[in-house]
Structure 1
């Protein structure tokens, strides 16, 4: 018999893990993604049962979950396997700031913590608007967010929005509505033509190598490269559509933009 609220939850992406911890509902989690690192103690407290596009289905079933939380079409095969095994699954698909906030509220409702989730989401909303307000009226550096290096992939929706909240202009902001990475591929010559003042790079789970960016043919003409404005933002901070992106991820973007402003003032 399934319980409400669910008492045994498996989270196959990190943002739902962090959200449940922030809501004080982490006692419900019985399994997590191997990428879950927030809060740090999760790696010691919860068994790891999946990567991102693959999962140990027998291990998940052995945990006897009454709810599994997933994200995006990239986990559709995992979802299908779990559903066929009789497991209740909720698949999130947030790609924007509004979507992230809705995810927090929905997750709160799913675990019977609606009021706490509303307070958490409202706090993030106020933070975003306060930061947006402080950046208003200042020069906006042109920013290229590099989500992957080969092929070049520009920033997904919530990343593009956060760049604007922090006071930057995403040079490929018109691609933000494209959820699939293949639809956000850009050519090196397009980046050169866009002439970003700042390059933010987060290579989706692997270390950014600025030397490779600087060595690309013709990129010495890009203002960000010429002026040494290449900044790595760690993937767990910005590429998971949850609390991390709204806090540490946004702050990392703000610092990079502030540094660009300081350089221009010299």
Structure 2
């Protein structure tokens, strides 16, 4: 039957378990969870991203705590020392997200349902990829997940940009798993790519296109010259779970295909 009492330290296990119809197993969630809304309404919030209320988690008597990335290593260590089993996934790619869904489903004893969900998500991506292959032009897309300092997009975002019909402006940076290795010290690096589209997804705050347009030396960037500055809300694209492969890629497709239509 798998674990019956699960604490989700990030949003993607929560969203995935709800999609699998296994939400009754969840006894605690991250305070940053917004998907699905029912989880935020119904489940106790016991963690942030880099910190957690260990005593509250222990009081829930979890069978397992599930989180994401080396950034949560301190939380994992504290829970392990307290005797809680912990699974920290560390995937960064589209294929990694699909595999994560399959592994989580197997962990809770619903492997067939998880395989079906992952297969459905993969077919959706194939449909977007096929539609994008027919674009007459592919724009260069600069994706920014933070502004002070400038931080470019992570690998699964870069891959989704490609699936949606764009060319990632800084693909070499996207392969870096940690945000500190995607910091752009010199904005001239972005300017040199001449992005046709700038997409902002500033985690936890509203994207301000007017601030980007006012950056020194950026006035000749095609995206700024043509007013192609767009926002994709961070909950849709910056968590490595189902949202990125559904609503996230749909937003990228809308933006990129819209540009292609205007520049046909």
Which residue is 2:175 aligned to?
177
Gap runs ≥5 in structure 2:
none
Which residue is 1:245 aligned to?
244
1:13-49 deviation line (CA, Å, top 9, x unaligned):
0011000000000000000001111111111110000
1:110-169 deviation line (CA, Å, top 9, x unaligned):
100000000000111111112111111421100000011111111100000000000000
Which residue is 1:68 aligned to?
65
Gap runs ≥5 in structure 1:
none
Which residue is 1:32 aligned to?
29
- Stretches (4+) displaced over 3 A: none
In the alignment, structure 1 residue 195 sits paired with structure 2 residue 194? yes
1:207-241 deviation line (CA, Å, top 9, x unaligned):
11111101100111000011110001100000000
Q: TM-score, normalised by structure 2?
A: 0.97
**Counterpart pick for 2:15 among 10, 18, 21:** 18
In the alignment, structure 1 residue 140 sits paired with structure 2 residue 138? yes
Tell me, what secondary structure is at the counterpart of 1:225? helix
Which residue is 1:88 aligned to?
85
> How many residues are matched?
262
1:84-129 deviation line (CA, Å, top 9, x unaligned):
0000001111100011011100000110000000000011111111
Which residue is 1:204 aligned to?
203
In the alignment, structure 1 residue 216 sits paired with structure 2 residue 190? no
Instruction: Quote the RMSD (CA, aligned, Å).
Output: 0.9
